Amino acid sequence: MTATTTGTTGTTPMVRAEGVHKSFGAAHILKGIDLEVAPREVFCLIGPSGSGKSTFLRCINHLEKINAGRLSVDGELVGYRQKGDKLYELKDSEVARKRRDIGMVFQRFNLFPHMTAMENIIEAPVQVAGETKAVARARAERLLDRVGLADKAASYPSQLSGGQQQRVAIARALAMEPKLMLFDEPTSALDPELVGDVLDVMRDLAQDGMTMIVVTHEMGFAREVGDALVFMDDGVVVESGHPREVLTNPRHERTKSFLSKVL
């Protein structure tokens, strides 16, 4: 099944997946994913654990290599170059350079514990993009203010709550000025009272037009902020459409069964 979105006809999709397969040994995780994400779209992925959502996110920035199909970001193949009828895998350095355009926020924050919030945010712009510390620091200060943590620049991760760490992680991803943001269940490791602050930052990004793919169990966020929603199960797209339509009037029995347990 192909997941269609609200993108404008003729516009290059920010993400296009065509028959994407991914296996780990004998385990077939993605079984032919077809979908498109339009620029400026908030695209939500929902489904049970083990359905392939997080694996698909990791394939988008080539943290995992696909086994078959084609995956492109902003019109360029992910991890490969096409010459004639053949695909050639890019060098690690080329993959890393292209990955700068894709920010990723993980479930478990993944901050460097020995670095302050400020140091976490400026690390990639300085070490990867070659910016001066002054330029990187000025942007980091703006980003910390944006995520409501202007007073936490000198704090280490151990001194921050889970929600604060996740907001620093979002600021760190934004520091490379990506064209696409991937969120892998960004609130699932947080205490309930800390979820709202992280979702507020994501709403702010959506209002600014950031293209976002969000793997989430926050159905309220998907309904309120999402432009498109896909329900995945067992490595395939089961159902797709506008979030309110899918969540209110699911067509497939598997979708209905899943939503009856989470709504």
Mean pLDDT score, 225-245 = 97
User: What is the pLDDT, as a whole number, of residue 100?
Assistant: 87
Mean pLDDT value across residues 76-88: 86
Q: Are 11 and 38 in contact (CB under 8 A)?
A: yes
- Residue 47 φ then ψ, to 5°: 150, 170
Residue 5 predicted with pLDDT over 80: no
Q: For residues 41-53, give the mean pLDDT.
A: 96
First to last CA, the chain: 24
> Does residue 216 have a pLDDT over 70?
yes
Which among 223, 219, 181, 216 is positioned nearest to 37, based on CA atoms? 181
Q: What is the mean pLDDT of residues 218-232?
A: 96
Question: Does residue 200 surpass a pLDDT of 80?
Answer: yes
* Contact present, 14 and 73 (Cβ < 8 Å): yes
Asked if residue 33 lies in contact with residue 56, where contact means CB atoms within 8 angstroms, the answer is yes
Q: Give the model's pLDDT for residue 8.
A: 42
Nearest of 9, 83, 68, 7 to residue 40 by alpha carbon: 7
Q: What is the pLDDT of residues 94-117, one digit of tens each?
A: 888 888 899 999 988 899 999 999
Question: How many CA atoms are closer than 13 Å to the CA of 109, on its beta-carbon side?
Answer: 21
Q: 11 φ, ψ to 5°?
A: -85, 135
Angle between helices 117-127 and 162-174 (to 10 degrees): 20
Residues 112-141: tens digit of each pLDDT = 999 999 999 999 999 988 999 999 999 999
Give pLDDT, residue 230: 98
- pLDDT (mean) for 31-51: 97
**pLDDT at residue 3 greater than cutoff 80:** no
What mean pLDDT is reported for the chain? 93
For the chain, how many residues are written? 263
Q: Is the pLDDT of residue 1 over 70?
A: no
What local confidence, expressed as pLDDT, does residue 6 receive?
Answer: 42
Greatest CA span in the chain, whole angstroms? 55
Lowest mean pLDDT among 5-9, 13-17, 83-87: 5-9
Whole-number percent of the chain with pLDDT over 90: 83
| Residue 10, pLDDT score | 59
